[in-house]
Amino acid sequence: MGIKVIYEKCNLCKKCIEKCPFVSIEIKDNKIFINEKCTLCGLCVKICPEKALLKEEKEKEKIDLSQFKGIWFFAEAKDGGISSVSYEMLSAAKKLKEKLNEEICGVCFGKNIKDKVINLIRKGADKVYLIDDDVFCEFKEEVYADALSYLIKKYKPNIVIAAATMIGRSFIPAVSVKVKTGLTADCTDVDIDEKTGLLIQTRPTFGGNLMAKIICEKHRPQMATIRPKIFEQAKDQENTKGEIIEEKVEFKIEDRLNICGKQRIENVVDLQEAEIIVSGGRGLKEGKNFDIIKELADLLNAAVGASRAAVDSGWIGYPHQVGQTGKTVKPKIYIACGISGAIQHLAGMQTSDYIIAINKDPDAPIFKVANLGVVGDLFEVLPILIKKIKEGGK
């Protein structure tokens, strides 16, 4: 296994060395040498003008891929309803159906949610597999993983997508290992390759600075988690005629986790679902000044975010932190107040639709990603803005 160099063909043009993203090709003893940094991405094989590089692949026992059919999406039950990201997943599934023309099936676990699940059908799902059972009252990664793996083994879908929320990111990896297939995390796009019919999964790494396209060729289902707020929520459709298929817990469940107590986090910080976020950084100078941020957020019906500097100073809790070690958000509007825009902060918010930044330093890096950059003192600008909004009403 590996990249093989056919030395007779190689004329040492070094094109492979130039193009290798992982600096894994060097010249040793006047010969091309692939070192251990190689990730077998195969780019060198593609670009070698002499066809002197080959990727050795062993023929695997073939899984009959044709028996896998259907585009599945996982619908999260939340607070007695279906969470909004579920409708985003349905939209993603609809996009795939345009090119693949296979059934769209939702999968939902919960308690007493049958009358809510019907909404998935109204919005375009052809089928919904529902398991209504007490064991799903609490989110437990093992239990959810067992249930979804069971359904996948029973019905053999071609594609399974789920939202990259804390729930999705917690249990979908276990499902992929249980059904022995690949899983691509945090996709920002999914599409179907028209030639091969394969799922093309696009995802960012390094905080969005590096993008990759990933496929899962020989295993099924093809699985991906998709970032919230990338796809619009699916809308009601006319003439839908989907069916709800109720399944029972007739499979083995490992139920070893015990959830004993929950505590809501103050002024709801479901940052990933917020349309508008007002964030504060070290520029606020003191913890109590977050009141200005909270006041503006309340007026705009927005969630409150923060930079790591603000969190580490103890001004606000970690669940509010945006960035590389906090949350990745993509609201319609992100208002950064007194945040310099360090790369680790940008990693968590730079793909927001519209960014407004207030900073008194005209050279602050945040201005590089801001649609509207306001050079000014937040303690002067924000109170006036708040007053004006109050006067203007909504």
Partner 1 sequence: MKIVVCIKQVPEGLDVKVDPETKRIVREGVKSIINPYDLYAIEEGIRLKERFGGQTWVISMGPPQAETAIREAISMGIDNGVLLSDKKFAGSDTLATSYTLSLGIKKIGDVDIIICGRETLDGSTGQVGPGIAVHLGIPYITYVSKIVDIKENKIETIRLMEDHYEVVKTNLPVLITVVKEINQPRIPSLKNMLRAKKIEIPIWNAEMLGGDQSLFGQEGSPTKVIDVWTQEIKKEGRKVEGEPQEMAEEILKELKKLGVL
Ligand X SMILES: Cc1cc2nc3c(=O)[nH]c(=O)nc-3n(C[C@H](O)[C@H](O)[C@H](O)COP(=O)(O)OP(=O)(O)OC[C@H]3O[C@@H](n4cnc5c(N)ncnc54)[C@H](O)[C@@H]3O)c2cc1C
Chain residues 336-375 in contact with partner 1, contact rule CB under 8 A: 343-344, 346-347, 350-351, 354-356, 358, 362, 367-375
Per-residue x/- track, 263-282, partner 1 (CB under 8 A): xxx--xxxxxx--x------
Element (H, E) at 91: helix 84-100
Cα radius of gyration rounded to whole Å, the chain: 25
283 lies in the binding site for ligand X (CB under 6 A): yes
Q: What are phi and psi of 16, to 5 degrees?
A: -65, -40
The piece of 57-65, 234-242, 295-303, 323-331 that touches ligand X (CB under 6 A) is 323-331
CA distances (Å), origin 66, targets 71, 85, 156, 181: 14, 30, 10, 16
Chain centroid, CA 202 distance in Å: 10
241 lies in the binding site for partner 1 (CB under 8 A): no
Tokens, residue 238: 């006319």
Contacting ligand X (CB under 6 A), which of 168, 242, 326, 373?
Answer: 326
Number of chain positions touching ligand X (CB under 6 A): 28
Nearer CB in complex with partner 1: 70/323: 323
Those residues whose C-beta lies under 8 Å from the C-beta of residue 342, and which sit 6 or more positions away, are 307, 323, 365
Nearer CB in complex with partner 1: 16/117: 16
Contacting partner 1 (CB under 8 A), which of 28, 252, 256, 288?
Answer: 256
Contact indicator for 182, 223 with CB cutoff of 8 Å = yes
Q: Cβ-count burial of 105 within 10 angstroms (0-12 exposed, 13-18 middle, 19+ buried)?
A: buried
195 lies in the binding site for partner 1 (CB under 8 A): no
CB of 242 to partner 1, least distance (A): 29
69 lies in the binding site for ligand X (CB under 6 A): no
Nearer CB in complex with partner 1: 81/208: 208
Contacting partner 1 (CB under 8 A), which of 5, 130, 333, 339?
Answer: 333
**Buried b / exposed e along 288-307 (16+ C-beta atoms within 10 A):** ebbebbbbbbeebebbbbbb
Nearer CB in complex with ligand X: 118/342: 342
CB of 83 to ligand X, least distance (A): 24
266 lies in the binding site for ligand X (CB under 6 A): no
13 lies in the binding site for partner 1 (CB under 8 A): no
Residue 175 half-sphere exposure toward CB, CA atoms < 13 A: 32
Contacting ligand X (CB under 6 A), which of 281, 293, 315, 352?
Answer: 281
Q: Which does 360 bind (CB under 5 to 8 A by kind): ligand X, partner 1, none?
A: ligand X
Closest CA to 53 of 19, 98, 89: 19
Q: Which does 85 bind (CB under 5 to 8 A by kind): ligand X, partner 1, none?
A: none
320 lies in the binding site for ligand X (CB under 6 A): no
CA separation for the pair 229, 227 (Å, rounded) = 7
CA separation for the pair 106, 159 (Å, rounded) = 11
Those residues whose C-beta lies under 8 Å from the C-beta of residue 221, and which sit 6 or more positions away, are 68, 72, 152, 156, 157, 158, 159, 160, 179, 181
CA separation for the pair 371, 358 (Å, rounded) = 11
Per-residue x/- track, 337-376, ligand X (CB under 6 A): -xxx-x-xx--x---------xxxx--x------------
The piece of 13-21, 141-149, 204-212, 315-323 that touches ligand X (CB under 6 A) is 315-323
Query: Which residues inside 122-181 make contact with partner 1, applying CB under 8 A?
Result: 139, 141-142, 145, 165-167, 169-171, 173-174, 176-178, 180-181
Contact indicator for 108, 117 with CB cutoff of 8 Å = yes
Q: Which does 281 bind (CB under 5 to 8 A by kind): partner 1, ligand X, none?
A: ligand X
Instruction: Point out which residues bind ligand X (CB under 6 A).
Output: 281-283, 307-310, 321-326, 338-340, 342, 344-345, 348, 358-361, 364, 377-379
